[in-house]
Amino acid sequence: MELFRLGISDALDLMQRGEASPRDILDAVFGRIDAVEGRVRAFVTVTRDEAYGRLDGLGGPGEGGPLSGIPLAVKDNMCTKGIRTTCSSRILEGFVPPYESSVTDRLRQSGYILVGKTNLDEFAMGSSTENSGFFVTRNPWDLERVPGGSSGGSAAAVAADECLGALGSDTGGSIRQPAAFCGVVGLKPTYGRVSRYGLVAFASSLDQIGPITKSVRDSALLLNVISGHDPRDSTSAPAEVPDFAAGLDRGVKGLRVGVPREYFVEGLDPEVERCVREAIGVIEGLGAEVVEVSLPHTGYAVATYYILATSEASSNLARFDGVKYGFRAEGRDLVDMYMETRAAGFGPEVKRRIMLGTYALSAGYYDAYYRKAQQVRTLIKADFEKAFADVDVIATPTSPTPAFRVGDKISDPLQMYLSDIFTISVNLAGVPAVSVPCGYTSEGLPVGLQVIGKHFDEETILRAAHAYEVSTDWHMRRPPL
Amino acid sequence: MKISAGDVEHIARLARLGLNDEEKRMYGAQLNEILDYVDKLNELDTAGVEPTSHVIPIKNVFRRDVPGTSLPREEALGNAPQAADGFYRVPKIID
């Protein structure tokens, strides 16, 4: 077997049995990167030297942490000490963090090997990775199509076997939608489950880091390492962290699965609908009880999100002013320097969102937009609480369509925003959700099934996703690269 | 039209974003389109609904007030576009 095809769990087993060394696996991964990266373009920075440097510090088989010797990629909006971290923005092109984010710190302690930092829509603002300030990442299943976004680099790198797994971040679907588009597993944990310290902030009340992997079990293994309270992030929850891999095989017998009628509406691609309905049928066949539920405010989620997320972003991105780090343009005076720096450093989507957020927060409009959106957020959250009084998990399509073509939506921001229609409510409610491959269109494009759970109940959505995954072979397919 | 050309310049100034004429036109049109879409929120009666700013019930996170270690000055200045004598250097503020 080609070692770069391995997932995390299988690689750990192989190393445990002494059938492959960390160096064998790392060689295979970099060989794969050399072979396909020119076409996929998943990475902003490949960290080959650092990766081989880390090999020497690893113990033998059975020694070291739970991810000892596992090559992973990290989205380039998480700070890595001494390794440049760009957010795929010109304004941070030369930024080398003097500190390590909490998630990558935990990964380091677990023995992982960083192979590179992956491309994203600038500051994670986008659904296609076309908004990267550097280049467009391609979908490994069809190089003419987008990988989704904003964690498109991480999802493409995993799908193309350029790493064994990766981290992404998800503010409105940025882990789950690219995972669906690229045929891999993407998990957004409960808000507060994973520390955001060192994640460059986009919308602080919505941002959450999570794994993108080749299997549900791998997702659980990564979540085990990155979860837990962190005193450096005051919004990280002091909740107990279970072993997410322990209960995966318990099956779905008796599990109540809700299917929200508002997610099967006009605009849903018929092939996506077919795959998702068949997947729900498979889960029912495994002993789950499927019932219809209603999330009545679903149609208001995108509007709510684009007020709240842009407002928070306009505030968070005020820090990029050309003074302490990043790019600086010359100006006549201080304010002119700020304006020229931000004009040259930010791309069009980031500027658009800063403008919208600044407007929504400006004097006279706060109540009409920001406060109104916060109130609708309460209603959306209440929808989920009501549904979860009756069901254990909710199953939906991850995205209304499969991967679209590069260039198709880039000139129409509203159409691009609407591609996140099935993922955004989850962030507004703060609940966890996982996207798992559930079939392919007639053109061979992957489709994702989204399983949504209660606050801090990642165990149940992982269990349901795993039960589905092992009874199908979608996750075994690989793109024709 | 919710946002006029004058509004676009005002917002850009508040956001410290230098925009050229083409960008002002484009963002003006796009923001109006997006805000028209956002108007659908007004279909909902939210009188008496508490706003949600944070989804997890965490409040008043305190820690002990003990001094920790700071980032060394050299490292803190390491990414500065301009630094001099141990400080960040910026254009003159006071005439």
Query: Model confidence over A299-351: pLDDT tens digits?
Result: 999 999 999 999 999 999 999 999 999 999 999 999 999 999 999 999 999 99
Query: Residue B29's domain spans which residues?
Result: 5-42
pLDDT for position A62 = 63
Residue A468's nearest CA partner among A448, A454, A443, A441 is A448
Q: Domain for residue B91, yes or no?
A: no
The verdict on residue B94 lying in a domain is: no
pLDDT digits (tens, 9 = 90+) for A158-178: 999 999 999 999 999 999 999
- At residue A419, the pLDDT reads 86
Instruction: Determine what percent of chain A is predicted with pLDDT higher than 70.
Output: 99
List of residues 6+ apart from A328 with CB closer than 8 A: A322, A337, A341, B81, B82
The answer to the question of residue B61 being in a domain is no
Residue A396 pLDDT greater than 80, yes or no? yes
C-alpha closest to that of A460 among A215, A233, A247, A156: A247
Q: What are phi and psi of A433, to 5 degrees?
A: -155, 150
State the pairing for strand pair A165-170/A71-75: parallel
**Is A174 marked active-site?**
yes
pLDDT at residue A456 in the model: 97
The answer as to whether B24 is a domain residue is: yes
Residues of A in contact with B38 (CB under 8 A): 303, 306-307, 369
Q: How far apart are CA A146 and CA A364, in angstroms?
A: 39
- Which CATH number goes with the domain that contains B14? 1.10.20
Pairing outcome for strands A165-170 and A208-213 = antiparallel
Looking at beta carbons, which residues of chain B come within 8 Å of A321? 16
Looking at the predicted structure, is the pLDDT value of residue A63 above 80?
no
Kindly state whether residue B81 falls inside one of the protein's structural domains: no
Q: Where residue A377 falls among pLDDT bands split at 50, 70, 90?
A: very high
- Tokens 């301009």 appear where? B82
How close B14 gets to chain A, by Cα (Å)? 7
pLDDT at A9: 98
- Residues A11-39, mean pLDDT to the nearest whole number: 97
pLDDT for A438-458, tens place per residue?
999 999 999 999 999 999 999
Picking from A96, A100, A332, A359 by the largest number of B CB atoms within 10 A of its own CB, the best residue to mutate is A359
Residues A39 and B78: their CA atoms lie apart, in Å, by 35
Distance CA A158, CA A328 (A): 35
Q: Spell out which residues of chain B touch residue A363, defining contact as CB-CB under 8 Å.
A: none
- pLDDT (average), residues A433-437: 98
Residue A35: CB atoms within 10 A of its CB come to 14
pLDDT for B4: 93
- Residue A399 near residue A269, CB atoms below 8 Å: no
Q: Say if CB A140 and CB A479 are below 8 A apart.
A: yes
Contacts of A170 in chain B (CB under 8 A): none
Put simply, the answer to whether B41 touches A304 (Cβ < 8 Å) is yes
Nearest residue to A12 via CA among A212, A312, A221: A221
A411 has a pLDDT exceeding 90: no
Nearest chain A CA: its distance from B22 CA (Å): 12
Residue A75 bears catalytic tag: yes
Q: What confidence score (pLDDT) does residue B95 get?
A: 73
Q: Which residue does chain B place closest to A95, by CA atoms?
A: B79
Closest partner CB to A331 (pick from B12, B91, B93):
B91
Nearest to A172 by CA among A446, A455, A421: A421
Q: Do B42 and A372 touch (CB under 8 A)?
A: yes
Choose the catalytic residue: A75, A214, A409, A454: A75
**A148 pLDDT above the threshold of 90:** yes
Residues of B in contact with A362 (CB under 8 A): 11, 14
Higher pLDDT, B54 or A155: A155
For A201, half-sphere exposure in the C-beta direction (CA atoms, 13 angstrom radius) is 21
DSSP codes of every residue in A389-438: TT-SEEEEESSSSSPPBTTSSTT-HHHHHHTTTTTHHHHHHT--EEEEEE
Please give the Cα distance from A55 to A113 (Å, whole number). 8
Quick one: average pLDDT of A373-385? 98
**Region of residue A275 (phi > 0: left; psi between -120 and 50: alpha; otherwise: beta):** alpha
What is the pLDDT, as a whole number, of residue B58? 82
Cβ separation B56–A340 shorter than 8 A: no
Q: Nearest 5°: phi and psi at A238?
A: -80, 40
**Per-chain mean pLDDT for chain B:** 93
Q: Which of A192, A327, A378 sits opposite B51 (nearest CB)?
A: A378
Q: Peptide bond preceding A314: is omega within 30 degrees of 0, i.e. cis?
A: no
Tell me, yes or no, whether B34 lies in a domain. yes
Residue B19 has its nearest CB partner, among A234, A343, A455, at: A343
In chain B, the number of structural domains is 1
Look at residue A73 and give its three-state secondary structure. strand
* Predicted confidence (pLDDT) per residue in A275-302, tens digit: 999 999 999 999 999 999 999 999 999 9
The reply to whether residue A356 touches residue B93, judged by beta carbons under 8 angstroms, is no
Cβ-based neighbours of A86, under 8 Å, separated by 6 or more: A44, A45, A76, A92, A93, A95, A117, A133, A134
- What's the average model confidence in pLDDT over A217-239? 96
Predicted confidence at residue A418, as pLDDT, reads 86
- Mean pLDDT over A92-113 rounds to 97
A455 contacts in B (CB within 8 Å)? 55-56
| Residue numbers in B near A327 (CB within 8 A) | 81
Q: Count the Cβ atoms, other than its own, within 10 Å of residue A431.
A: 26
Of A302, A337, A352, the CB nearest to B91: A337
pLDDT at A120 over 90: yes
pLDDT class of B30 with cuts at 50, 70, 90:
very high
Q: Token match 């302690």: residue?
A: A109
A88 included as an active-site residue: no
Residue of A83, A355, A454 best to disrupt the B interface, most CBs of B under 10 A: A355
Catalytic residue among A9, A101, A174, A227: A174
Q: ipTM of this complex > 0.90?
A: yes
CA A338 to chain centre: 31
pLDDT at residue A433, as a whole number: 98
Q: Is A61 a residue whose pLDDT tops 70? A: no
**Rounded to two decimals, what is the model's pTM?**
0.97
CA distance A416 to A127: 7
Judge whether B51 lies within some domain. no
Query: What pLDDT shows up at residue A203?
Result: 97
Q: Do A355 and B12 touch (CB under 8 A)?
A: yes
